[in-house]
Every structure is written in structure tokens, then in C-alpha cells.
């Protein structure tokens, strides 16, 4: 999962270049917190938003709600790999526009003429509220201002306390959290890479929203409190105004002016908190309540439009119906609510699908029917006074679902549904419901939520929201019986697991099942391989027996279960048969029986299982490979069949064992094309699938274009055996020569010689796995001599040949356990014998079945060496050359100095003659150009330019094509045309596809707008001088977030590892500034190294976020610090 390091402010050193420091990664302190729900997918598997609402009142629920104790429903029990955002709910809106804790909600607000008075943002009485436990973590209330309390920033204030870093105040006792106690939601979420938004409103605290949005003074007070929340560490604001417009809320009714005022509110809020903080809004599912918004303007400001696609039916309904139908039930009248209906309505208004998040209820709604419960049955309503609504007439089934006010969580539903309830499935609406006597309950389960996640994927929506993230939590064993914040590390979360699984492309779970379906892609793919140590691969041959010859093992799965598979990361089941028509066969030896046993046992041990296709025998396999490789059609057929084979057998990848392309001409070219096709096709199916190939040891290396093949595989498995000279897999053989099919030679006839040859062709060491033999030079299994070796181990170890690193046992050369460890030293440490001292990605063996079944000492030697037994000290961290003074700088300013204007020469009723004037003040001539711009008119009969057409509102025009044309600097180019429609000045000018400006804003102009701050000034003391604030596009006089440290799993040169990264926001209108990111392993920043820009995300509105990564994977560094340098340029 993505793990985001939490930035800490450090004072920026004043140096030749202005710098802002970021803290080293400190995620290990939080590793123990947060639940592991054992998901099959995480949010990184699909990239959509998964927003969970977390309430600040549900912690009061205890055993009467089916929970292990009061305090269980808290942030510690969430699986942070399953969410991208958490919305802390709710803050209320007071009469003056200020915000207050939900615990200060006026319980009489339902009464006429009752108002909400102002109150603090957080409830200070820790015995009456969970606010500070949720915000700061497990508290140790203190009645005295001890040294520890004052060191934490508390001081006496008005008979209570004040927290000086935040300005928060409250009554005694002090809500002190000792170091090491469970963290608060902000601290934990940020350490886990999850953002937290402050959610404002909710059904019962929106009464004063309309007047606040309409009144500039109240609006300013509202926004000021939002800024306080941002300063406390919240990553944005979620507005839950229920509802703007002339519709009834709880004891208030809005007006049509609300729609305009809502836009004004979010516009001013965006200006106040800046572009790098999120603004989202929960919206009604009713089209009538959505019609009045200015959706183009609203969509441009909001980062997510959170659709409350639930509460369609409930206690207010006259008939029992679905809480959240995906589609309208059969026989529904027009206008019946459904999730799909709301989405399609907004898409029809032009709202971008990426802005929409579908609402998912992790709860149900129960009603009482007038007679036997059934879908569509009439309900029975009674008068009742409840909180927060007051006196109402309702059919809600309070009796069945206390203490949930007839809206039980999924977890409570599953606890009680076995007590006489009958489950039904509506195949039209795609949701379940329960009946019991006169009681009816509509709810969502794994299947219905899977259907909704599939719909999100099909419609390419931005993501989902969950009300609430606590709804599916099923506690395991509590880690502490005394903590107020109850914590169960093994808390299950079956519904959110399903949502992420289906969003990632996995099937919808079958009806009546709970939890996600098996992952459709690889269960243990490329992303699961260890990043901080060498990997170990092992083949399992279905054509062998105890002697190592072509005999067949038939006792499955016992033969596989007896093998020491725990020592390996990759298990390769050999061999599937490549057929000449591009299909795959399973008839070689016992492969058909072997494969399912290997997959089952391997996955049970959390190993990656690959199919190996080909092999050396029978000889027809090579001929079939040659036929397939020579034909483009057969190559594609073969690759597609591989994908189907991987999916059918739940495999994690494929190994191509073509032994061997016969020459360095057409056969070599065809094999490269074959691997190119396989790699592209398999990765298109799922990039986590592992693709590798193998060959060796010497002669046939010339038949492989290693320089090209490096781009079409994840790994190359080198056959470090079968030399027979006389050793089986000699590590070195000085003075020897080995020719290849290409007419060139290896440096020597040995493992080192073969690997140096491959490395010399440009193949990267971090993609090479070297195979070592579990059999002897005469093909006998190690098991045949293992007992002889064990009885005389000291003598045999003393006799290991120093170059070959093999030992002669019973007249045959073997790699014994001790010799194997020495080979690992030679390949995987700084004592590497390979050219340049390079270190390989891993090692492997042919093959596991050659081991002694009851004494697997060769695979044990792998495991011991990897674990550090008999291994040399780990290599020191790599040291990169220090950057030069002008190295690595980057700028993002828009191309400047280019403007486009329209001149109307003449006009008539149906059209006009126009001229486009393109002014070039970029500082350089433009010999060619293509511009795009938006305008409502049409263009025809173009002269002095080439017209590329109009798509939507966007025109494309290119330079004239006559010879010698150029648009000189400070010159104006004119394109004439006949226009139709209404003339208008062009907008959104782009040059060659990139936005342009008239020149951007320089630092002096920007600074003047903020009181003339200097480049090195840090007026807001947020650790970033003004020049970097200028680069980031943030406010120099208000503390806000700029760049931030994260850990990301990235694929670099085809290998996925975790990297220390820095995300830098950039304002493209900031002209004449450039920057770079430097890293070091200490706060002295000596020695320095450059970080690498890895990815740029366009956030719109001329804002970017640039992901910079370290030069080496995180596993190679114990701690990392980074800082950003910026400088002004001409």
C-alpha cells in the first residue's frame, strides 16, 4: 500500500539557494496501529477515490450494539489500505456562521424559532465527548501542569488549559497524550497515506447554512473556521449541506438563492484554503434537488461530488422499499430513485464522471408493514418523538433494531439475521432485503455493493463514498482491555474489501457469499515480491522422479507438500507444452496433476506461482516455438492463450523456456518479437503478472538479443548449470573460452562468463536471476549423495574447488549446501565476481525435486543465507555523485508571451470575416506552430494558415505551409477566415497542445500582492520561504501545506520497489523560477544527491503536482531526508 510520511516543519536554512526541509520517514511508529482486514486488493489496485465517513458519536455504542465494548468504533480499527480519504463527521454551523463540535448540537433544534448558538470546534470535556480521543489519540487526562504536559504545549488558561501550538482551549483535565500511546486520526491517517477532511453539516446541523452562505460576514466567519481546521492538519473541507434550494431540511426550508450562494461559498473557500486542499460536497440523490446548481462552475471547484445515493425509502415511506436500489425496481413509477438514475442525470448535465463518487450504505433501514412484510407492502406509521427530528410520524422498525434507531449497521444485521429473518434478492434493483413477520429491512451486502462498484468502474466514475466506514467492522481480539480507544488489529471489514476488489476489476461476489471473490489478476504478482533482499526462484519439474531422470511422480499433492517450498519466493511449475497452432497443452509428464497442487500449496504459503512453458524435451517443443515465433498471428494467439491460461489456473505469471532459438539471425529476431508480444499482452491483462524467460549456459546465448529483451520481461533466468566441463555449474573457469551461435565468445566457460556476456549486452543486473543446480554433473539428484555428504561434511566442505565452487562426491561434481552459500556470496554481495562487481536480483534452482525429501538442506541453505546465517554484512548504502550547481533544475512555467486576438473585419446576418492575430513575444522565433483555442463561432475558407477543424468548442489552426515561413519574435501572424455564428474572443489558448499565457507572473509582481515579502522571508513560519511558496502557488502569510514526503511503490526499469518520494505542487503561472529536490541520509545534507522527477499530475487550473523519487529503492536506505531548492532565473 502507499504509505505517506507526515511532513514536519524545519526552519529553512538561508543559503545561496533557498531550501525547505522535509522530515525523514517516520512511519514505523505507526505500523502497529490500524487494522489488517486481510484484503485481496487495496486502493492502489484501482486508483479511484474511496471516501469513508467516520462519525464522532458512534464510539459511544457498546455491547448493546453487538460490539465488544464502548469505544470500539474508532479510527484505530480501520484498514487504511482500503480508503483514500476519511471524512471526520460532523462539525455544525452556528447562527453566526461559526463552526462547532457535533457534540454541542442543540437537541431542541427541531423546535420552531430555536437556534444553534456558537460553541468550540471540539468539545473540551473529555468525559462527555470523544472529540479529543479521536483527534489526538489515547489520552492520559492530567489535572496538573507537569513538565510532560507543558512540554506537549499545554498551559493554564481561564481555569482550564490552552494548547499553544493549535490555540485550542478547554476545561480541566488536560487531554494529554503521552508519547507512544495510540495516535489520533490525523496522525495515523497521514502516516498511512490517507487524507482526512473535516465534514460540516449533516442532517441535523444545517439549519444555519442558508443564511451563512448568503451573508458576507457570516460567510467570512465560516471560512475562517475552515482555515482553523486546515491549520490543525485536516486535508480539506467536505460540505454536507442538506439541502441547498427550496427544499425542506430539519426545521428549515431553503430558497432558490441557495444555489448561487453555494457557489459563492465554495469559490471564496477555495481562494482561502488554496488549490492544494480538497473541497468536496455531499449531494442529494434527487434530481429535483440537483437541477438548480451551476454545474460547470461547481464541478470546476469541487474535487469530489459525493452522491448520497441512499435513504431512498425508510420510515417516512408509505410502502416498504429499497434503501439504495442500483436500478429502479420492477413496476416502479417514473421518477423512482436509484443510484444509476442519479448518476445518469448528472452525466447528462455534463458533470465530469471523474468528479462523481457514488454513495454506498454500510447500513440498512427497517420498517413495519401492515401485514406480512414484503417489497411494496404498505407500512404502518405511528407518532414518535426521536432525536434529532423531534415529533414525527414514522414506520421505522425501532423494536427490531435498537440502539440503531431502525438503521442498523451491516455488522449488526449479520449478527441478527439468523434469528428468523428470510433473505431475498431483487434481481432488477440489484439489492437484497430481509423479512420477518411484519418487519422489512432493506440493506446492502457483498453482492449488491459489488454490483455498485462494478457500475462505478463501467461508468468510469471517480470513486465511492461510504456511510459509514464503521458499518462493516467485525472485531477480533482486543489488544488492550484498559484503553478507552478499543483496538483490534485483526478487525475484519468484508464490505470495503469487496468494494476495492471489484473496483480493481475482480468479479462481483456470488449471491449469498460474504467478502470479495478471488482476485482476477495475480494473487501474488510482481508487486508482492520482496524489495529489500534477493529473490529466490525454484522450478518444480513434472517429468522427474527421485533419480532426476524422465520419470513421473504420481502421488499428488503429497509430493508437492513434502517439498521445502517455504525457502522460495517464485515457484515455477514446469512444463506446459507450446503447440504449433499457438495453443497450450498440459500433457507433458504429470504436469496436469502437478499444476493445481503447486498453485494450491504455493499460494497457501504466500508464494508467487508461475507456469513455465517449453523445456528441452521432447525436441518438438523447440520446433513448435520456432513456428509460433515466426508468425505474427501465431505470436498473438499464443500470447492471448497464455493470458487465458494464467487466469484459468490462478497463476501469477509466465516463464518462457524456449530451448533454443537455433541461430543469431531470424531465430533470434523472432524470439525477441515473441517476447515483445507476450510481454505486452500479459501486462495489458494485468501489469502485476510476472513475465520472464530463461536460457544458458553458453553456446546458445548468442541466439538472444539481450539488449532488446530487457524491455520485454521482468526477469531473465540464467541456467547456471549443464556446463559439464567437467563441473556442472562452475562459478569461474579462468583461461577457458566459450563460443556462441553469434560467432562471439564469452569471457570464460563458466557462470561468471555467461553472466558477464549478458551484462555486457546491456541487460540490467536487477532483472537477472541466476539458476544453480540441485543435481550433479552426471545428472544424478542431490538426494542420491546427500547422506554421503552429511556423514563426511567437514571433509567435503574442505574439498570445495575454489573457482568452480563445487565438490566432487562419488565421482560427480555437486553444489553442496556450503558450496551453494559461497556461490550466493559470489553473486549477491559486494564481493561479487561479476564484471563491475554488480549484484544480481536473485538466485534460483533447477530443480526443487532433486532435493532430499526429508532433509532439504539445499533449499535450507538458500533460506539461511537470505536470513543472514553465514552471510556477509549488508552492503553500505549506495553513494551517488554530488550534483553540480546547475544540474537537475526543473521549471514548470507556462510558455509565455503568446497572445491570440480576433478582429472582425466585416459582418453580415449569418456570418463575418475575421482575422486571428497571433502575437509572439516568447523571446524566440516560431518556425512552426499549432494552436488550439476555444470559441463558439465556426471557421471556413481559411487563408494564411491551415485549419485542423473544430471538436466541441475547440479549434485547431497551424502555421502556413509555404517555404521559409517563420513567426519572428515580437512579430504578429495573421490568419484570415470566414466565420459563422457569434464572434467572440478566443479563450484557453494552447501552443502545440500545452497551455500558454501572456507571460505569467514574476516573483516581484506576486510579492507585491502580499506586502512585498522577500524571497527568503518565511512570514507564516511554515518552513517554506516565500520563493518556494511562489513556486507552490501557496499563500506566503498563511500556514499551509506545500511539498510532502511519501513512500510509493514504483516500477523503475521494469522492477517494482518502494521509493522515498517528495510531491511538489507547482503553479504554472509562476514565471522565472526553477527548482530541484535533494536528498540525504542526515540532516546535515552531506553528502547530497539529486532526486528524480518521476511523474507529473495535471490538477487543472494551471496547477501541477510533481512526484520526485529517490535514485535507489527505500530498502537500500535506513532513513532519508529531502529538501527543495528554488532559485530565480532570467
Q: Write out the DSSP string of 32-90.
A: TSS-----S--GGGT--EEEEEEESSGGG--GGGT-SSTT-SSGGGS-GGG-SEEEEEE
Check if the beta carbon of residue 448 is closer than 8 Å to that of residue 432.
yes
Domain that holds residue 303: 41-140+177-467
Higher confidence at residue 504 or residue 613?
A: 613
The answer to whether residue 1025 is domain-embedded is: yes
In the chain, the percentage of residues whose pLDDT exceeds 70 is: 91
Does position 1022 have pLDDT exceeding 50, yes or no? yes
The answer to whether residue 167 is domain-embedded is: no
Q: What is the pLDDT of residue 894?
A: 63
Q: What is the pLDDT of residues 901-958, one digit of tens each?
A: 899 888 887 888 899 998 887 767 777 788 889 999 999 888 888 888 888 888 988 8
Q: Which residues pair with 995 in a beta bridge?
A: 990
Check if the beta carbon of residue 361 is closer than 8 Å to that of residue 404.
no
Q: Give dist(CA 466, CA 23) in Å, integer.
A: 33
Check if the beta carbon of residue 724 is closer than 8 Å to that of residue 773.
no
Q: Binning pLDDT at 50, 70 and 90, where does residue 169 land?
A: very high
Residues 6+ apart with CB under 8 A from 620: none
SS3 per-residue string spanning 899-927: EEEEEEEEEECCEEEEEEEEEECCCCCEC
Residue 705: CATH number of its domain:
3.20.20.80
DSSP state of 485: S
Does position 301 have pLDDT exceeding 80, yes or no? yes
Q: Within 10 Å of residue 1070's Cβ, how many Cβ atoms?
A: 24
Question: Do 99 and 195 sit in the same domain of this protein?
Answer: yes
Residue whose C-alpha cell reads 535533494 in the numeric block: 1078
The answer to whether residue 546 is domain-embedded is: yes
Q: Binning pLDDT at 50, 70 and 90, where does residue 334 land?
A: confident
The answer to whether residue 152 is domain-embedded is: no
Q: Binning pLDDT at 50, 70 and 90, where does residue 688 land?
A: confident
Q: Give dist(CA 747, CA 768) in Å, integer.
A: 18
Taking CA atoms, 413 is separated from 11, 589, 611, 1116, in Å, by 53, 52, 43, 48
Does position 356 have pLDDT exceeding 70, yes or no? yes
User: Span 651-661, mean pLDDT?
Assistant: 96
Q: Within 10 Å of residue 44's Cβ, how many Cβ atoms?
A: 16
In the chain, the percentage of residues whose pLDDT exceeds 90 is: 61
Per the structure, how many domains does the chain have?
4
C-alpha grid cell, residue 232: 490543525
- Three-class secondary structure of residue 250 per DSSP: coil
Q: What is the pLDDT of residue 544?
A: 56
Q: Which helix (H) or strand (E) holds 301?
A: helix 295-301
Torsion from C-alpha of 311, 317, 320, 325, nearest 10 degrees: -30
SS3 per-residue string spanning 752-803: HHHHHHHHHCCCCHHHEEEEEECECCCCCEHHHCHHHHHHCHHHHHHCCCCC
Q: Which helix (H) or strand (E) holds 648?
A: helix 632-648
Residue among 67, 858, 745 nearest 470 (CA): 67
Does position 197 have pLDDT exceeding 60, yes or no? yes
Question: Do 635 and 573 sit in the same domain of this protein?
Answer: yes
| Range from 363-372, 397-406, 518-527 carrying the lowest mean pLDDT | 518-527
Q: Give dist(CA 132, CA 175) in Å, integer.
A: 7
Residue 912: CATH number of its domain:
2.60.40.290
Given 433, 452, 467, the domain boundary residue is: 467
Q: For the chain, how far is it from start to end, CA to CA, in angstroms?
A: 42
Does position 969 have pLDDT exceeding 50, yes or no? yes
Check if the beta carbon of residue 1108 is closer than 8 Å to that of residue 1039.
no
62: phi then psi, degrees, rounded to nearest 5:
-135, -140
Q: Which helix (H) or strand (E) holds 161?
A: strand 160-163
Q: Binning pLDDT at 50, 70 and 90, where does residue 11 land?
A: very low
Q: What is the pLDDT of residues 95-122, one digit of tens each?
A: 999 999 999 999 998 888 899 999 999 9
Q: Is the dihedral of CA 397, 400, 402, 407 positive or negative?
A: negative
Q: Binning pLDDT at 50, 70 and 90, where does residue 1070 land?
A: confident
Q: What is the DSSP string of 226-238?
A: HHHHHHHT--EEE
| Overall residue count recorded for the chain in this entry | 1130
Question: Do 839 and 953 sit in the same domain of this protein?
Answer: no
Q: What is the pLDDT of residues 236-269, one digit of tens each?
A: 999 999 999 999 888 889 999 999 999 999 999 9
Check if the beta carbon of residue 768 is closer than 8 Å to that of residue 756.
no
Question: Do 460 and 569 sit in the same domain of this protein?
Answer: no
Q: Give dist(CA 168, CA 154) in Å, integer.
A: 10
Residues 6+ apart with CB under 8 A from 487: 33, 74, 76, 77, 182, 478, 479, 480
Higher confidence at residue 687 or residue 157?
A: 157
Higher confidence at residue 546 or residue 508?
A: 508
Question: Do 569 and 432 sit in the same domain of this protein?
Answer: no
Question: Do 832 and 909 sit in the same domain of this protein?
Answer: no
The answer to whether residue 1022 is domain-embedded is: yes
Residue among 854, 998, 866 nearest 922 (CA): 998
The answer to whether residue 76 is domain-embedded is: yes
Does position 1112 have pLDDT exceeding 60, yes or no? yes
Q: What is the pLDDT of residue 225?
A: 96
Does position 331 have pLDDT exceeding 90, yes or no? no
**What Rg, from alpha-carbon coordinates, does the chain have?**
34
Residue among 707, 704, 697, 703 nearest 741 (CA): 703
Question: Do 985 and 1026 sit in the same domain of this protein?
Answer: no
Does position 857 have pLDDT exceeding 70, yes or no? yes
Check if the beta carbon of residue 1090 is closer than 8 Å to that of residue 883.
yes
Q: What is the pLDDT of residues 436-491, one digit of tens each?
A: 999 999 999 999 999 999 999 989 899 999 999 999 999 999 987 678 999 999 99
Q: What is the pLDDT of residue 747?
A: 93
Characterize 364-383 residue by residue with b for buried, 16 or more Cβ atoms within 10 angstroms of its Cβ, and e for exposed: bbbbbbeeebebebebebee
Question: Do 1016 and 975 sit in the same domain of this protein?
Answer: no
Q: What is the pLDDT of residue 1081?
A: 74
Residue among 110, 91, 111, 95 nearest 211 (CA): 95
The answer to whether residue 1089 is domain-embedded is: yes
The answer to whether residue 601 is domain-embedded is: yes
Question: Do 988 and 1009 sit in the same domain of this protein?
Answer: no
Check if the beta carbon of residue 120 is closer than 8 Å to that of residue 229.
no
Question: Do 99 and 234 sit in the same domain of this protein?
Answer: yes
Q: What is the pLDDT of residues 816-827, one digit of tens each?
A: 999 999 999 999
Taking CA atoms, 314 is separated from 311, 320, 381, 434, 476, in Å, by 7, 7, 11, 14, 32
Check if the beta carbon of residue 942 is closer than 8 Å to that of residue 957.
yes
Query: pTM above 0.75?
Result: no
Question: Do 974 and 1007 sit in the same domain of this protein?
Answer: no
Q: What is the pLDDT of residues 32-45, one digit of tens each?
A: 899 999 998 889 87
Residues 6+ apart with CB under 8 A from 72: 59, 61, 62, 473, 475, 478, 486, 488
Residues 6+ apart with CB under 8 A from 739: 699, 745, 746
Q: What is the pLDDT of residue 1111?
A: 84
Which segment, 6-15, 915-924, 988-997, is predicted with the most confidence on average? 915-924
Q: Binning pLDDT at 50, 70 and 90, where does residue 1119 land?
A: low
Question: Do 628 and 708 sit in the same domain of this protein?
Answer: yes
| Range from 735-749, 781-795, 830-844, 1060-1074 carrying the lowest mean pLDDT | 1060-1074
Summary mean pLDDT of the chain: 88
Which segment, 416-430, 925-939, 969-983, is predicted with the most confidence on average? 416-430
Amino acid at each position: 500500500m502507499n504509505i505517506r510520511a507526515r511532513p514536519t516543519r524545519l526552519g529553512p536554512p538561508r543559503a545561496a539557494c533557498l531550501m525547505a526541509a522535509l522530515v525523514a520517514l517516520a512511519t514505523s511508529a505507526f505500523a502497529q496501529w490500524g487494522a489488517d482486514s486481510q484484503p485481496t486488493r487495496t486502493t492502489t489496485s484501482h486508483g479511484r477515490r474511496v471516501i469513508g465517513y467516520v462519525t464522532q458519536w458512534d464510539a459511544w455504542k457498546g455491547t448493546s450494539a453487538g460490539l465488544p465494548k464502548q469505544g470500539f468504533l474508532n479510527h484505530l480499527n480501520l484498514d487504511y489500505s482500503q480508503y483514500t480519504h476519511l471524512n471526520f463527521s460532523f462539525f455544525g454551523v452556528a447562527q453566526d456562521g461559526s463552526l462547532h463540535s457535533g457534540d454541542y448540537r442543540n437537541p431542541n433544534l427541531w423546535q420552531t424559532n430555536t437556534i444553534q448558538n456558537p460553541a468550540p470546534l471540539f468539545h473540551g470535556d473529555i468525559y462527555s465527548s470523544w472529540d479529543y480521543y479521536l483527534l489526538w489519540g489515547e489520552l492520559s487526562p492530567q489535572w496538573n501542569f507537569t513538565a510532560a504536559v507543558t512540554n506537549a504545549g499545554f498551559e493554564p488558561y481561564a481555569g482550564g488549559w490552552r494548547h499553544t501550538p493549535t490555540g485550542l482551549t478547554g476545561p480541566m483535565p488536560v487531554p494529554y497524550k503521552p508519547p507512544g500511546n495510540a495516535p489520533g486520526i490525523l496522525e495515523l491517517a497521514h502516516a498511512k497515506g490517507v487524507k482526512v477532511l473535516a465534514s460540516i453539516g449533516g442532517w441535523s446541523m444545517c439549519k444555519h447554512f442558508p443564511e451563512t452562505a448568503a451573508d458576507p460576514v457570516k460567510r467570512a466567519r465560516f471560512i475562517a473556521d475552515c482555515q482553523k481546521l486546515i491549520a490543525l492538519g485536516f486535508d480539506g473541507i467536505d460540505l454536507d449541506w442538506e439541502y441547498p434550494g427550496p427544499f425542506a431540511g430539519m426545521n428549515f426550508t431553503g430558497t432558490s438563492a441557495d444555489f448561487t450562494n453555494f457557489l459563492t461559498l465554495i469559490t471564496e473557500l477555495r481562494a482561502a484554503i488554496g488549490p492544494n486542499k480538497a473541497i468536496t460536497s455531499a449531494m442529494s440523490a434527487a434530481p429535483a434537488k440537483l437541477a438548480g446548481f451551476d454545474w460547470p462552475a461547481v464541478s470546476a471547484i469541487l474535487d469530489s461530488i459525493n452522491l448520497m445515493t441512499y435513504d431512498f425509502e425508510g420510515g417516512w415511506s408509505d410502502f416498504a422499499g429499497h434503501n439504495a436500489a442500483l436500478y429502479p425496481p420492477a413496476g416502479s413509477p417514473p421518477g423512482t430513485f436509484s443510484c444509476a438514475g442519479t448518476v445518469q442525470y448528472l452525466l447528462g448535465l455534463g458533470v465530469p464522471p471523474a468528479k462523481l463518487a457514488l454513495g454506498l450504505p454500510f447500513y440498512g433501514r427497517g420498517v413495519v408493514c401492515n401485514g406480512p412484510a414484503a417489497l411494496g407492502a404498505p407500512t404502518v406509521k405511528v407518532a414518535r418523538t426521536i432525536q434529532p427530528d423531534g415529533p414525527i410520524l414514522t414506520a421505522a422498525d425501532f423494536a427490531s433494531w435498537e440502539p440503531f434507531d431502525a438503521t442498523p449497521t451491516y455488522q449488526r444485521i449479520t449478527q441478527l439475521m439468523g434469528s428468523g429473518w428470510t433473505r431475498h434478492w431483487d434481481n432488477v434493483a440489484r439489492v437484497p432485503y430481509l423479512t420477518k413477520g411484519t418487519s422489512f429491512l432493506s440493506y446492502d451486502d457483498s453482492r449488491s455493493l459489488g454490483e455498485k462498484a462494478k457500475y462505478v468502474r463501467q461508468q468510469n466514475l471517480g470513486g465511492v463514498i461510504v456511510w459509514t466506514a464503521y458499518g462493516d467492522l467485525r472485531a477480533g481480539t482486543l489488544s488492550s482491555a484498559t484503553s478507552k480507544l478499543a483496538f483490534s488489529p485483526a478487525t475484519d471489514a468484508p464490505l470495503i474489501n469487496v468494494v476495492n476488489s471489484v473496483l480493481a476489476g475482480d468479479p462481483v461476489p456470488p449471491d449469498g457469499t460474504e467478502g470479495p471473490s478471488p482476485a482476477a489478476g495475480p494473487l501474488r504478482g510482481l508487486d508482492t515480491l520482496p524489495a529489500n533482499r534477493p529473490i529466490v526462484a525454484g522450478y518444480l519439474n513434472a517429468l522427474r522422479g527421485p533419480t532426476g531422470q524422465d520419470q513421473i511422480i504420481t502421488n499428488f499433492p503429497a509430493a508437492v507438500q513434502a517439498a521445502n517450498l517455504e525457502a522460495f519466493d517464485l515457484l515455477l511449475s514446469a512444463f506446459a507444452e507450446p503447440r504449433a497452432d499457438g495453443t497450450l497443452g498440459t500433457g507433458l509428464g504429470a504436469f496436469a496433476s502437478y499444476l493445481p497442487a503447486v498453485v494450491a500449496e504455493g499460494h497457501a504459503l504466500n508464494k508467487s506461482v508461475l507456469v513455465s512453458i517449453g523445456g528441452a524435451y521432447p525436441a518438438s517443443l523447440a520446433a513448435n516455438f520456432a513456428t509460433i515465433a515466426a508468425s505474427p498471428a501465431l505470436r498473438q494467439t499464443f500470447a492471448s492463450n497464455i493470458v487465458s491460461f494464467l487466469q484459468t489456473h490462478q497463476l501469477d505469471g509466465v516463464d518462457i523456456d524456449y530451448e533454443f532459438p537455433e541461430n543469431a539471425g531470424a531465430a533470434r529476431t523472432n524470439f525477441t518479437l515473441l517476447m515483445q508480444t507476450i510481454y505486452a499482452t500479459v501486462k495489458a491483462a494485468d501489469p502485476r503478472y510476472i513475465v520472464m524467460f530463461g536460457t544458458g549456459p553458453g553456446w546458445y546465448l548468442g541466439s538472444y538479443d539481450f539488449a532488446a529483451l530487457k524491455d520485454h520481461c521482468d526477469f531473465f533466468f540464467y541456467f547456471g548449470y549443464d556446463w559439464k566441463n567437467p563441473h556442472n555449474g562452475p562459478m569461474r573457469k579462468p583461461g577457458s573460452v566459450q563460443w556462441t551461435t553469434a560467432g562471439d565468445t564469452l569471457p570464460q566457460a563458466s557462470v561468471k562468463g555467461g553472466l558477464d556476456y549478458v551484462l555486457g549486452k546491456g541487460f540490467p543486473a536487477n532483472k537477472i536471476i541466476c539458476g544453480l543446480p540441485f543435481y550433479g554433473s552426471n545428472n544424478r539428484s542431490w538426494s542420491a549423495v546427500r547422506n554421503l555428504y552429511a556423514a563426511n561434511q567437514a571433509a567435503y566442505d574442505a574439498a570445495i574447488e575454489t573457482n568452480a565452487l563445487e565438490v566432487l562426491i562419488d565421482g560427480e561434481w555437486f553444489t553442496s549446501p556450503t558450496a551453494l552459500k559461497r556461490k550466493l556470496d559470489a553473486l549477491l554481495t559486494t564481493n561479487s565476481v561479476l564484471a563491475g562487481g554488480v549484484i544480481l536480483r536473485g538466485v534460483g534452482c533447477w530443480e526443487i525435486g532433486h532435493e532430499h525429501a526429508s532433509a532439504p538442506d539445499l533449499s535450507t541453505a538458500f533460506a539461511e543465507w537470505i536470513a543472514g546465517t553465514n552471510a556477509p554484512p549488508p552492503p553500505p548504502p549506495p553513494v551517488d555523485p554530488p550534483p553540480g550547481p546547475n544540474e537537475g533544475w526543473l521549471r514548470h512555467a507556462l510558455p509565455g508571451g503568446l497572445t491570440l486576438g480576433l478582429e472582425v473585419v466585416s459582418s453580415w446576418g449569418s456570418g463575418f470575416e475575421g482575422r486571428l492575430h497571433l502575437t509572439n513575444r516568447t523571446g524566440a522565433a516560431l518556425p512552426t506552430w499549432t494552436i488550439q483555442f476555444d470559441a463558439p463561432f465556426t471557421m471556413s475558407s481559411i487563408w494564411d494558415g491551415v485549419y485542423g477543424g473544430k471538436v466541441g468548442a475547440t479549434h485547431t489552426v497551424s502555421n502556413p505551409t509555404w517555404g521559409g515561413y517563420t513567426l519572428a519574435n515580437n512579430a504578429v501572424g495573421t490568419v484570415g477566415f470566414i466565420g459563422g455564428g457569434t464572434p467572440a474572443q478566443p479563450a484557453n489558448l494552447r501552443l502545440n497542445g500545452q497551455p500558454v499565457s501572456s507571460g505569467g507572473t514574476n516573483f516581484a509582481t506576486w510579492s507585491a500582492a502580499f506586502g512585498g515579502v522577500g524571497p527568503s522571508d518565511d512570514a507564516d513560519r511554515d518552513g517554506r520561504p516565500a520563493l518556494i511558496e511562489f513556486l507552490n502557488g501557496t499563500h506566503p502569510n498563511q500556514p499551509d501545506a506545500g511539498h510532502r514526503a511519501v513512500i510509493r511503490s514504483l516500477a523503475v526499469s521494469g522492477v517494482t520497489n518502494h521509493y522515498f518520494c517528495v510531491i511538489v505542487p507547482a503553479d504554472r503561472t509562476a514565471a522565472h523560477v526553477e527548482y530541484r529536490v535533494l536528498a540525504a541520509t542526515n540532516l546535515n545534507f552531506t553528502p547530497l544527491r539529486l532526486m528524480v522527477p518521476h511523474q507529473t499530475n495535471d490538477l487543472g487550473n494551471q496547477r501541477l503536482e510533481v512526484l520526485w523519487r529517490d535514485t535507489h529503492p527505500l530498502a537500500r536506505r535506513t532513513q532519508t531526508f529531502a529538501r527543495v531548492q528554488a532559485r530565480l532565473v532570467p
